[in-house]
């Protein structure tokens, strides 16, 4: 059974704090993704990684960075959290090639006050 | 024009109704189409995927692609209150491992 886990379900941080969101997948997938999801805006891709230490910017990378030191783990970093980064953050993974279906984690609801 | 357009709803139906959820797309390149279901405060889960054209059935769910009109549909037969969720359509583009998502349709099935 496919499994993507995220480090926290709910997180509350203060403006200016550095925030780490971690994602782990146990399916040996090459690709990993970070999205944010906001009402009326749908899923927006922040960053993705197609291999260890490889990353590419998605549609809204500003204010975020990522790290992928091991194949199974993909971290999203908010260098200096701001209130407009309050959102639901979703991690996903997929095999390289093929259909390209992505498997999602349960999400982290981040509130920045 | 966004690559995948989806009516956000909300859609409210009585239990047992046949539900039709729809998306349109603009890019005609080789691709797969997927449907995800997302319960409130949870991550999306993959329901099913189809190739560029044709139908695929899985229990009460049928996914359909009309390539000529660039229309993709998900039909739910005998809908249940447990089907109440947001449904997201998505397309992949051949070797491109990114997916393009619609914004989702919120469905409520009333008992």
Q: Which of B49, B35, B51, B32 is nearest to B85 (CA)?
A: B35
* Segment A75-91 mean pLDDT: 97
Choose among B36, B43, B101: nearest Cβ to A107.
B43
CA A37 to chain centre: 11
Decide: residue B60, CB within 10 A, 0-12 exposed, 13-18 middle, 19+ buried.
middle
State whether B101 and A100 contact (CB < 8 Å): no
A18 or B91, higher pLDDT: A18
A8 or B1, higher pLDDT: A8
Choose among A31, A90, A103: nearest Cβ to B97.
A31
Q: Which of B43, B50, B96 has the highest number of chain A CBs within 10 A, making it the mutation to test binding with A?
A: B43
Task: Evaluate if residue A5 carries a pLDDT over 90.
Answer: yes
The pLDDT value recorded for residue B30 is 63
Chain A hits for B45, Cβ within 8 Å: 104
**Phi, psi angles (nearest 5°) of residue A71:** -60, -35
Distance from CA of A101 to the nearest CA of B (A): 7
- Where are the extended beta strands (E) located within chain A? 4-6, 10-13, 19-25, 31-38, 42-51, 54-57, 64-70, 73-78, 87-94, 103-104, 108-112
Report yes or no: A45 and B99 within 8 Å, Cβ to Cβ. Answer: no
Q: Which residues of A48-84 are buried (b: 16+ CB within 10 A; e: fewer)?
A: bbbeeeebeebeeeeebebbbeeebebbbbbeebeee
Report yes or no: A89 and A95 within 8 Å, Cβ to Cβ. Answer: no
A90 lies within 8 A of chain B by CB: yes
| Residue in A with minimal Cα distance to B90 | A101
* Segment A78-82 mean pLDDT: 97
Task: Evaluate if residue A1 carries a pLDDT over 90.
Answer: no
Task: Evaluate if residue A46 carries a pLDDT over 80.
Answer: yes
The share of chain A scoring above pLDDT 90, in percent, equals: 88
Q: What is the mean pLDDT of each run of 10 residues along chain B (111 residues)?
A: 83 97 84 93 94 87 91 96 97 75 96 96
The conformation of residue B12, written as its DSSP 8-state character, comes to: E
* Segment A39-44 mean pLDDT: 92
Interface of B with A (CB under 8 A): 8, 32, 34, 36, 41-46, 49, 88, 92, 95-99, 101-104
The pLDDT value recorded for residue A80 is 97
State whether A107 and B41 contact (CB < 8 Å): yes
Segment A85-100, tens digit of pLDDT: 999 999 999 987 777 8
The pLDDT value recorded for residue B90 is 93
The pLDDT value recorded for residue B44 is 97
């Amino acid at each position: 059974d496919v499994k993507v886990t995220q480090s926290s379900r709910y997180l509350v941080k203060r403006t200016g704090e550095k925030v780490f969101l971690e994602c782990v997948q146990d399916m040996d997938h090459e690709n990993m993704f970070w999205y944010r999801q906001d009402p009326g805006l749908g899923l927006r891709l922040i960053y993705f990684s197609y291999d260890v230490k490889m990353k590419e910017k998605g549609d809204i990378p500003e204010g975020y960075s990522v790290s992928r030191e091991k194949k199974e783990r993909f971290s999203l970093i908010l260098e200096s959290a701001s209130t407009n980064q309050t959102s639901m953050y979703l991690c996903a993974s997929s095999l390289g090639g093929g259909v390209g279906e992505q498997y999602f984690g349960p999400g982290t609801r981040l509130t920045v006050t | 024009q966004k690559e995948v357009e989806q009516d956000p709803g909300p859609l409210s139906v009585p239990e047992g109704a046949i539900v039709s959820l729809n998306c349109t797309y603009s890019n005609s390149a080789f691709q797969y189409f997927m449907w995800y279901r997302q319960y409130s405060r949870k991550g999306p889960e993959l329901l099913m995927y189809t190739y560029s054209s044709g139908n695929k059935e899985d229990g009460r769910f049928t996914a359909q692609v009309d390539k000529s009109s660039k229309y993709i549909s998900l039909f739910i037969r005998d809908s249940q209150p447990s089907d109440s969720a947001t449904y997201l359509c998505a397309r992949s583009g051949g070797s491109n491992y990114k997916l393009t998502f619609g914004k989702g349709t919120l469905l409520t099935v009333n008992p």
